[in-house]
């Protein structure tokens, strides 16, 4: 078992970029708002400056959301530090976020290769191995991260891994999981059943050895069939970025294990109505 990141009642509610519908994306105000609502999982992105400082920031350049321009990996932290998100908010450092809420878990999208080695160093300094899930579209970037870490850390499947689940993984022989009137995912205390022996057992074991514990996919990919295939491989399914309440409901009904949203208030309220809200303890 690579980490305790997913050791939490499902469904998991992720505040996407801190909850960008309410405060500027990836800003301290966004993360603070999500934590105040009871969110125990924050989704963010990672970029590194030329001197190896890790920023919770989505784009490779400052241009779209800050008061400055330039490619982050080619700038020193001193050059970047004056940039303000939405003209008002400083860019948070990953290490500061990890320190601010020691009980909160972070889903980290590794956006660029220069961030790999600094991330390994931050996780060693903070001993936050079990509090993070590392994600990337790039399989090579995830391989580089595994080498740099030197130990297992929770990871999501790359684009290639997701395609294998989508088109080549097994169907769940038990069918979609339903509980109660909402036809939601497995009971909060349940764990995904181990994949059955068969032609895909080797794939499931290989995913487990590399730390891949989940598939994080857009709503268009998260069909009932995909969820069944992922579960049969022992993987959770987390869906991004879902801001419509009806869409959230449909995904929960077919067994999605987690939802990432900008609309953190709407997702919290929906889960409360369904009896599936599991807030972080204050």
3-state DSSP assignment of residue 169? coil
Q: Under a CB-based contact definition with an 8 Å cutoff, are residues 154 and 132 in contact?
A: yes
Catalytic choice (16, 33, 177, 231): 16
Q: How many CB atoms lie under 10 A from the CB of residue 189?
A: 7
Q: Strand ranges (DSSP E) for 193-265?
A: 212-218, 236-240, 258-261
Catalytic choice (8, 22, 58, 182): 58
The verdict on whether 58 is a catalytic residue reads yes
Integer Cα distance of 182 and 115 in angstroms = 41
Q: How many CB atoms lie under 10 A from the CB of residue 221?
A: 16
Task: Kindly report whether the peptide bond that precedes residue 11 is cis, defined as omega within 30 degrees of 0.
Answer: yes
The verdict on whether 16 is a catalytic residue reads yes
Q: Which of 241, 254, 76, 229 is nearest to 163 (CA)?
A: 229
Residues 6+ apart with CB under 8 A from 161: 139, 207, 212, 215
Q: Which of 251, 280, 20, 186 is nearest to 270 (CA)?
A: 251
Number of H helices, E strands in the chain: 10, 11
H helix or E strand, kind and range, residue 35: helix 28-37
Catalytic residues: 16, 58
């Amino acid at each position: 078992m690579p980490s305790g990141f997913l050791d939490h009642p499902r469904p998991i509610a992720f505040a996407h970029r801190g909850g960008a519908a309410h405060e500027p994306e990836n800003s301290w105000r966004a993360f603070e708002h999500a934590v105040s609502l009871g969110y125990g999982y924050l989704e963010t992105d990672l970029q590194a400056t030329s001197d190896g400082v890790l920023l919770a920031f989505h784009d490779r350049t400052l241009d779209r959301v800050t008061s400055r321009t330039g490619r982050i990996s080619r700038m020193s932290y001193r050059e970047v530090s004056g940039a303000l998100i939405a003209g008002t908010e400083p860019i948070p450092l990953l290490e500061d976020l990890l320190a601010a809420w020691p009980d909160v878990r972070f889903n980290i999208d590794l956006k660029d290769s220069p961030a790999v080695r600094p991330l390994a160093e931050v996780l060693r300094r903070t001993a936050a191995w079990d509090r993070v899930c590392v994600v990337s579209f790039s399989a090579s970037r995830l391989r580089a991260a595994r080498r740099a870490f030197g130990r297992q850390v929770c990871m999501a499947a790359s684009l290639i891994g997701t395609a294998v689940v989508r088109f080549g993984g097994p169907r769940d022989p038990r069918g979609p999981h339903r509980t109660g009137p909402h036809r939601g995912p497995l009971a909060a205390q349940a764990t995904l059943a181990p994949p059955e022996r068969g032609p895909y057992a080797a794939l499931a074991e290989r995913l487990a050895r590399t730390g891949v514990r989940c598939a994080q996919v857009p709503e268009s990919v998260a069909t009932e069939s995909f969820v069944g295939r992922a579960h049969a491989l022992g993987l959770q399914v987390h869906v991004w970025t879902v801001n419509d309440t009806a869409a959230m409901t449909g995904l929960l009904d077919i067994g999605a294990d987690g939802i990432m949203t900008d609309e953190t208030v709407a997702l919290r309220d929906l889960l409360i109505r369904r009896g599936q809200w599991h807030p972080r303890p204050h």
